[in-house]
Structure 1
Amino acid sequence: MKKLSNINISYKSIRTANTILLLCLFFTVLMLAVVTASGKSVPALSEEQKENKLSVEIQKQLAQGVGEMNFPISAKKLYTQRKFKEIWLNPENGAKQTWDAMLMIDCVLQYGLNHNDFHPNELLYSTLHDILERPNTIAIESQARFDIILTDAMLTFVNYLHYGKFNPQFPPGKLDRYDLPVFSAINHLKASLAAKEFQQHILAAQPQATAYRNLQHQLYLYTGLYAGDCYEIPESDIRKVAMNMERLRWADSNEKYAIQINIPSFLLQFYHSGIIDSFKVIVGKPAAATPTAMTSIASFTIAPEKAVSAKIFTGKILPEAIRNADYLKQHHYLIYNDAGQLLRPNTPYLIKIKEHSHRYLAKQTYACGEPLGIAAFPFRSLSKISMHGVSKTSLFNRENRALSNGCIKIKDPARLAALLYASGHPQNKSVLNQAIAARQTRTFYLKDPIGVRITYLTCEVKDGELITYNDVYNLDKTLEAAMYGSVQPSLAKK
């Protein structure tokens, strides 16, 4: 019996041990399940829940300041208009526009822009792929950040395509702070998102001038097609094309320019009726540089004269003319009586004029210290320089024609006057011809002002070939250093 009792006790001990073991196994499995569950992604949110959560996070980040943005005010304004709804991470609209935006940013070199300005360390294809394909593996904070940064990159792209990065009149900070009536990157991006052809609409922000389009195509060949075919393109050529595209962005606006005057090429081109008429010009020497500008011409004067003040007439001109018989001719002065008659006074007559100077008037066919020639074309918004003819035409035979005191001298100004007047007043050409033949001082008004663009382009594309010009004011080095942080030796020598 004693032995049996020992057996029963052992059996009970074994059963108890087995129960404890089962309980341990149960809790072990339970803990493993909890641990495994904690390592898995959170349950997937519905699209509505996801959008709301993403919008809230976008609003939060914009309120706190995202940092490292080029146009933070513009981005916040755009998202506010959209009630902070994401722009690029919405699968309902498909992802084509998003990938197109990434592709354009990846190819900014083809537009003469710097890839470092477009958040290259954050806007990665792999990150976008994970967000779109496996959104539950990417934190909502990271998704919001990606959407905001891609928006900033596209606003940067649009602004830099249209205005350029180093535009002296419209720098990036000004574009971000103020709503400009001419062109808004926010409105352009919104319209592009609604357009059928997203990429084409975005790229329409670029200047439409032929000179710009030619340079942009050349840069596409240099950085895209030729690079892929293993052509060796000098870095200096790529930079020069990009710099002059930047300059053309500064000069572009919605206004059409019929006249372009390019300082480095010493050339004026008049575009009319599908025809281009070219004129050699003389521009300011480096010490008196002709400025780049966007202006217009509303009139021109044949045999132009400039009235001289009474004080200068009596205090300087008459005394000098009495002492020197050639003074009036040397300084291009003409004397009129109060009836408007042109006089040719000798020395005794000049003495009598001096005694009654209030009855006479002096005029000068002169501006910028230079003779005005047969015609003068005043710029409407520029008072310090003018465009006019010249008496010494041999100067146009020189290769370097940076010779004036800032004004623009044009070869054959009578021909330009006839072309301008014929476009609006073809029936009155005889009146103009008579004034030119008689050298009669007369002002002619154009039917509509003619837009004029004065540019500083050190290269252009003609018939598919890149043509370079001398950097007469030595401006390339400054712009190159701003755009690239260094100067190519090949450019520095020019």
Structure 2
Amino acid sequence: MLNSIKKILLQKRPINILFGILFISILVASCNREATIDRVLSKETKNKIYKDIEEPRLAESIKNSIESEDFKNKAVLNSYYQKNGYQASLIIKFMPDGKLAILADHLSAAAEHGLDENHFAAKEYRAQYDLVHSKDGVQSLDEAYQQVAALELATAKALLDYSSTLQFGVVNPNKILSRYYMETKQADSNFMMDILRSQDLATLLDSVQPKSANYMLLQEALKAGGDQDRSKTIRVNLERARWQHDIDSSKLIYVNIPAFRLDIYKDGKVAGSMKTVVGTGRNNGDNASFSDQKIKDAPHSHETPILSSMIHSVQVNPVWNIPESIAGKEILKHVQADRFYLSNAGIDVIQDGQVIEDPENLDWSSYSAGNLPFRFRQRPGDENALGKIKFLFKNNSSVYLHDTPAQAAFDRDVRASSHGCVRVKEPLELAKALFGAGDKFETIKGDMESDEQKSARNIELSPQIQVVLDYVTAENRDGKLVIHPDVYGLDHVIYPYL
């Protein structure tokens, strides 16, 4: 551009050339005047003290503060400022036009996200900003170095904390919930460095706001008020909505444990739903009052875990290998009360890999839960606790989705009574959703509906389909907020962290 201007001016008279050269010099000087901390602060605040700030001394102050103070993300901060010569880069970028005041406003609005109003130390940040921004707040050069360094690092901490919290949540559920096995994303160094390198504060603050329909409905419900327990339930679920997982709703089987419901997702939308029965909980819907004191998660032994996996196959007319815990606590009691219980229920007794003939002849009174040398296996049939089909996916809790002969349980409002697996009311519909029309589904359908005694049959699902067992007690259901009973008491474990 400057060369073009020169060519034009050379065609003019000498006096114009002189003025033109002067214009070019001013333009070049203006282009080369980088924004520096002394210029930014003195222009923005009108405080003359800032004109005498020297970059090297301020850099030393920032460096010393990072090294001496106990910062949450100290390594990230040190790396960022080291690469920038420990300049007050955030103040230089965001102090003009009152942009940092916008950050202070966002920090003050923590309650809109269900967080304690002091969560981001908004009052302290505002006070630090006002002190540095005021025309007569800082009254000496020594104070300027101290307070500007403090505001710079407070801005860095606020940006990282605010962005990380809204994008990933306050807590990592894997650390506070005993049976939470979904991999939850956390803010890493790349995310934090991108936050600090951002050039547009307004765009940054907007980009980290959760924008799902569920999150925004929860926010609106929180504004509407209501009793304290309801508001606290909403706050907990806002936190859940901030947790990030790899979930593909293009084809997904999603179970919400406290809703006692399974949803079949296709192309991001619910294509079908059915009732479920889930594992026995701690209070089964009798919600207790919330406490601000942190409590340790103490799950019932039969609670359904929270996890994500892939359904890889089904077993039609399944065999139930009865877990030792159920054998010792329940099966033994039944057979001690009725020695024909096992044969009537189609249960084999196995010792050293061999099926025991005529188990009713054993002296069951001589055994106890701690002294039981047998395994138990229920054969396929109408009495089988798994019904006609079970849906298998890898997990470390030995749980799966399955049919059940105990259909009456689906008529209850609170359906938390299984040993941990998830019973589904319409297993054939679930199989159809997974396999679609074709030979495999027709085989499944034929075996399930047959009156003949069938052997167990394993059928592979390809491609595999994601299954998520989740726990959400307040959700957006067709545009309306629905609150479910906190059957496992997990809301009370999460709430004190907010």
TM-score band (shorter)? 0.5 to 0.7
CA displacement at 1:453 relative to structure 2 = 2.5
Superposed CA deviations along residues 30-71 of structure 1, whole A, max 9, x for unmatched, are: xxxxxxxxxx9657247xx43x43332211100111x4x544
CA displacement at 1:302 relative to structure 2 = 1.6
3-state secondary structure, aligned to 2:259: coil
Q: 1:377 aligned to 2:391?
A: yes
Q: 1:289 aligned to 2:296?
A: no
Distance (whole Å) between structure 1 residues aligned to residue 384 and residue 166 of structure 2 = 40
Q: What amino acid is the match of 1:437?
A: E
* The one of 420, 442, 449 aligned to 2:464: 449
Structure (1/2) with the larger helix percentage: 1
**CA contact under 8 A between 1:119 and 1:149: conserved in structure 2?**
no
TM-score (norm 1): 0.66
**CA contact under 8 A between 2:108 and 2:123: conserved in structure 1?**
no
Q: Which residue of 2 aligns with 1:247?
A: 240
Structure 1 gaps of 5+ residues are 1-39, 172-179, 227-231, 336-342, 351-360, 484-494
**CA contact under 8 A between 1:284 and 1:407: conserved in structure 2?**
yes
3-state secondary structure, aligned to 2:165: helix
Range that drifts further, 197-206 or 256-265: 197-206
Q: 1:392 aligned to 2:406?
A: yes
**CA contact under 8 A between 1:262 and 1:454: conserved in structure 2?**
yes
Alignment of 1:12-161 (within 5 A): 42=49, 44-45=51-52, 49-50=54-55, 52-65=56-69, 67=70, 69-91=71-93, 94=96, 98-124=100-126, 127-128=129-130, 130-131=132-133, 137=139, 139-161=144-166
**CA contact under 8 A between 1:303 and 1:441: conserved in structure 2?**
yes
Higher relative contact order (CA 8 A, sep 6+): 2
Q: Which residue of 1 aligns with 2:258?
A: 264
Q: 1:188 aligned to 2:191?
A: yes
Q: Which residue of 2 aligns with 1:214?
A: 214
Structure 2 gaps of 5+ residues are 1-46, 177-182, 282-299, 362-374
Distance (whole Å) between structure 2 residues aligned to residue 239 and residue 325 of structure 1 = 51
Q: 1:237 aligned to 2:230?
A: yes
CA displacement at 1:284 relative to structure 2 = 1.3
Alignment of 1:254-333 (within 5 A): 254-256=246-248, 258-273=252-267, 274-286=269-281, 287=300, 288-306=302-320, 327-333=342-348
Change (3 A) 1:400 1:308: closer
**CA contact under 8 A between 1:371 and 1:391: conserved in structure 2?**
yes
**CA contact under 8 A between 1:111 and 1:216: conserved in structure 2?**
no
**CA contact under 8 A between 2:308 and 2:468: conserved in structure 1?**
yes
Q: What amino acid is the match of 1:292?
A: I
3-state secondary structure, aligned to 1:391: coil
Change (3 A) 1:91 1:385: closer
Superposed CA deviations along residues 95-114 of structure 1, whole A, max 9, x for unmatched, are: 56534432321222212222
Q: What amino acid is the match of 1:214?
A: N
Task: Return the index of the structure with the highest Cα Rg.
Answer: 1
Distance (whole Å) between structure 2 residues aligned to residue 199 and residue 435 of structure 1 = 60
3-state secondary structure, aligned to 1:261: strand
Superposed CA deviations along residues 237-295 of structure 1, whole A, max 9, x for unmatched, are: 33211111223444x31342522222221111121133431111111112422222233
| Pairs aligned (count) | 391
Q: Provide the aligned C-alpha RMSD in A.
A: 4.3
CA displacement at 1:136 relative to structure 2 = 7.0
CA displacement at 1:471 relative to structure 2 = 2.0
Q: Which runs of 4+ in 1 moved over 4 A?
A: 40-43, 91-97, 132-138, 180-183, 192-208, 306-309, 323-326, 331-335, 425-428
Alignment of 1:172-187 (within 5 A): 182-187=185-190
**CA contact under 8 A between 1:89 and 1:95: conserved in structure 2?**
no
TM-score (norm 2): 0.66
Distance (whole Å) between structure 2 residues aligned to residue 42 and residue 139 of structure 1 = 7
Change (3 A) 1:92 1:392: closer
3-state secondary structure, aligned to 2:390: strand
Superposed CA deviations along residues 150-186 of structure 1, whole A, max 9, x for unmatched, are: 2112212222223322324258xxxxxxxx9955354
3-state secondary structure, aligned to 1:279: strand
Change (3 A) 1:390 1:239: same
Q: Which residue of 2 aligns with 1:468?
A: 483
Superposed CA deviations along residues 415-439 of structure 1, whole A, max 9, x for unmatched, are: 11110112xx757433333343345
**CA contact under 8 A between 1:282 and 1:401: conserved in structure 2?**
yes
Distance (whole Å) between structure 1 residues aligned to residue 117 and residue 82 of structure 2 = 28
Change (3 A) 1:221 1:481: closer
3-state secondary structure, aligned to 1:420: helix
Change (3 A) 1:381 1:325: closer
Identity %, equivalent residues: 20
Superposed CA deviations along residues 420-475 of structure 1, whole A, max 9, x for unmatched, are: 112xx757433333343345532222223322332222222334433222222233
* The one of 443, 455, 458 aligned to 1:431: 443
Change (3 A) 1:238 1:150: farther
Change (3 A) 1:295 1:132: farther
CA displacement at 1:394 relative to structure 2 = 1.3
Change (3 A) 1:234 1:282: same
**CA contact under 8 A between 1:293 and 1:453: conserved in structure 2?**
yes
Distance (whole Å) between structure 2 residues aligned to residue 42 and residue 191 of structure 1 = 32
